[in-house]
A and B are shown apart, each in its own frame.
Chain A
Amino acid sequence: MKTNLKFRRVAAIGAGMTPFRRRMLETPQEMAWEASRRALDEAGLELRDIDCVVIGSAPDAFDGVHMKGEYLAHGAGGVMRPSSRVYVGGATGVMTAIAGWYHVASGMCKKVLAVAEEKMSTGRPHPQAVFRYIWDPITEKPLNPNLIWIFAMEMHRYMFVNKVSKEEIALVSVKNKRNAASNPYAQLGGEITVDDVLRSEVLVWPVQLLDVSPVSDGAAAMVFVDGDIARRYTDTPIWVEGVGWTLDNTSWPNRELAYPRYLENAARMAYRMAGIERPQKEIDVVEPYDPFDYKELHHLEGLMLAKRGEAPLLLKEGFFDKDGDIPSSPSGGLLGVGNPIAAAGLMKVISIYWQLKGTAGKMQVKRPVHTGVAQAWGDLMQASTVMVMRN
């Protein structure tokens, strides 16, 4: 089923990234420029060809600079052209691509540069401090919670409701870090075992050190163009076929923790636009948002690529491996590549783009792929963004 929305077809024709690293010497603007330059080079365009710029960045407080969209603009090619910043917490990265899409889909621009950047190493002692003020100031803030507490509760609830063990969840971390070993941009690729995860330091039970993605600096950028002109620049444009996003209730105690309802809504919106009726049969490769290992399973269920509570079983059978039926996080995901918030989300879209284009190099999955999905999710578990692409 297709919606009767009228919009122009949009193609991705270039992408670029900086490596994701714990502490980068470069300033946020310099990282944004490096990623943007690489994206333009891959697209075969110069900055003067670009009509509009979209900049995505999560809280200003990470980089420690207010009005980060404006701050990044000259590194992102945004000077003297229509530029806007999008921000929906951790879901920002995929939202940056979606905003790039609607600038073109609406017919307003022909060629858009979408740039996402985050420098997490600036705030000390830990960027987690930035999240101190996302809580209810009266009922929650006095306990000084951090996000890991809440995700620990979500993970625990997910494990309880679906009878999932820590061992089963640890397999995500093992898979993603192994995939990241073939990703030249990755911060934490490598061969680890389930035992390594279970023996790593307990941070906030049941979350242990190897259950969480690292803190990273990095930037990513993509070029989206009007479908009518895409073939002037490439023989293999990758089509954006569906987009979706949902904002759930920010009062997190009012939500079901074991299942990501916010994602199901966003995914249904994107699938409807792309004409996907049976996601598990029609999707070939997926990049679900995985800042924690359980989160990948949670999101695979929200994306309806597994039934509720079944993602761990499919994972154990190798269904989501790089050579499996639906390779999941072939890039290595946030667990392996790193987590500079907004850039990590756009990295997910870039990974799918490279997979569909067949230029993912050592990351390329075994089976031929035609339909891919990238997803991000943010903040108090409430925002999710989804993009479906085809070659």
Chain B
Amino acid sequence: MSWDKRGRENELVTWKDVMEVERYVYTAGPDGEKFLRGLREGKILGRKCPRCGRVYVPPRMYCEDCFVENGEYVEVKEAYLDSFTTIYYDNADRRLDQPITVGLVRFKGASGGLLAIVQGIPEIGKKVEIVEYGIPLRVRT
């Protein structure tokens, strides 16, 4: 029987503990760094597979299909909303004062995309304007 059904946790002999490393330091990798530097210059970078021409956004070192090293970095433009959702509750189950709209932003001619905070009235397929180059990205419809 589960604890919460019996409702008498203090009668059980339990051992409380936490499970975590103090902190993690992730490396962005060579392509990740290039991408982050691009954001600082107000650019969204992608990287193109020399064999199949697929453009990865964010840029990736290798093509997952051709399995060769990707080639040139290209600036991608023409951002559009592939899908979106509106969030009313946070992860701790508290109702937000202002709902947040989050969208998957893709770029014409590129594969992949970026999560972004969406301002304005969202619509699937609609072009968006990038208002803040950062993580998270902010876009306006």
Query: Which residues from chain A sit less than 8 Å from chain B, CB to CB?
Result: 23-27, 29-30, 33, 36-37, 40, 46-47, 61, 64, 74-75, 77, 79, 121-125, 127, 129-130, 132-133, 137-138, 141
B28 within 8 A of A: yes
Instruction: Check B24–A123 contact: CB distance below 8 A.
Output: yes
B31 → chain A, closest Cβ, in Å? 8
| B9-65 CB contacts (< 8 Å) to partner A | 15, 17, 19-32, 61-62, 64-65
List 17 other contacts, CB 8 Å, given A26-B29, A124-B24: A25-B27, A25-B29, A30-B30, A30-B31, A30-B62, A37-B67, A37-B68, A47-B66, A64-B26, A75-B62, A79-B64, A79-B65, A122-B26, A123-B23, A124-B21, A129-B21, A133-B17
CB neighbours (8 Å) of B61 from chain A are 26, 30, 33
Assess whether B29 is in contact with A30, with CB atoms less than 8 Å apart: yes
- Going nearest first, the 3 A-B pairs with the smallest beta carbon separation are A47-B67, A27-B29, A64-B24
Contacts A47-B65, A47-B66, A47-B67; A26 near B21 (Cβ below 8 A): no
| A-B pairs with beta carbons under 8 Å apart, 23 shown | A23-B27, A25-B29, A26-B30, A27-B26, A30-B61, A30-B62, A36-B67, A46-B67, A47-B66, A47-B67, A64-B24, A74-B64, A79-B65, A122-B25, A122-B26, A122-B27, A123-B21, A124-B22, A124-B25, A132-B19, A137-B17, A138-B15, A141-B15
B17: which A residues are within 8 A, CB to CB?
133, 137, 141
Known: A30-B29, A30-B61, A75-B62. A129 touches B22 (CB 8 A): yes
Complex formed: what's the CA distance from A152 to B66 in Å? 47
B31: nearest chain-A partner, CB-CB: A30
Q: How many residue-residue contacts, CB under 8 A, span A and B?
A: 71
CB 8 Å contact bits of B76-107 with A (1 = contact, 0 = none): 00000000000000000000000000000000
Interface contact A77-B67, CB-CB below 8 Å: yes
Contacts of B32 in A (CB 8 A): 27
Contacts of B68 in A (CB 8 A): 37
Whether A130 lies near B21 (C-beta < 8 A) is yes
Closest to B27 in A: A25
Instruction: With CB as the reference atom, state the residue of chain B lying closest to A31.
Output: B29
Q: How far is the CA of A74 from the CA of B64 in the complex (A)?
A: 6
Q: How far is B61's CA from A46's CA once the two chains are assembled, in angstroms?
A: 17
Q: Chain A residues with Cβ under 8 A from B22's Cβ?
A: 124-125, 129
- Note all chain B residues with C-beta closer than 8 A to A138: 15
Question: Please, which residues of chain A bring their CB within 8 A of the CB of B31?
Answer: 30
Closest to B13 in A: A138
Q: How far is the CA of A27 from the CA of B26 in the complex (A)?
A: 8
In the assembled complex, the Cα of A23 lies from the Cα of B30 at a distance in Å of: 14
Task: Kindly list chain A residues whose C-beta atoms are within 8 Å of the C-beta of B62.
Answer: 30, 33, 37, 75
In the docked arrangement, what's the CA distance between A30 and B29, Å?
A: 8
Chain A residues contacting B26 (CB-CB under 8 Å) are: 27, 64, 122
Distance of A136 from chain B, by nearest CB (Å): 10
Q: Which of chain B's residues has its CB closest to A130's CB?
A: B21
* Residues on B with beta carbons closer than 8 Å to the beta carbon of A27: 26-29, 32
* Shortest beta-carbon distance from B67 to chain A in Å: 4
Nearest CB in chain B to that of A74: its residue = B64
With both chains docked as a complex, state the minimum distance between the C-beta of A386 and any C-beta of chain B, in angstroms.
31
Tell me how far the C-beta of B125 lies from the nearest C-beta in chain A, rounded to whole angstroms: 26
Shortest Cβ gap from B60 to chain A (Å): 8
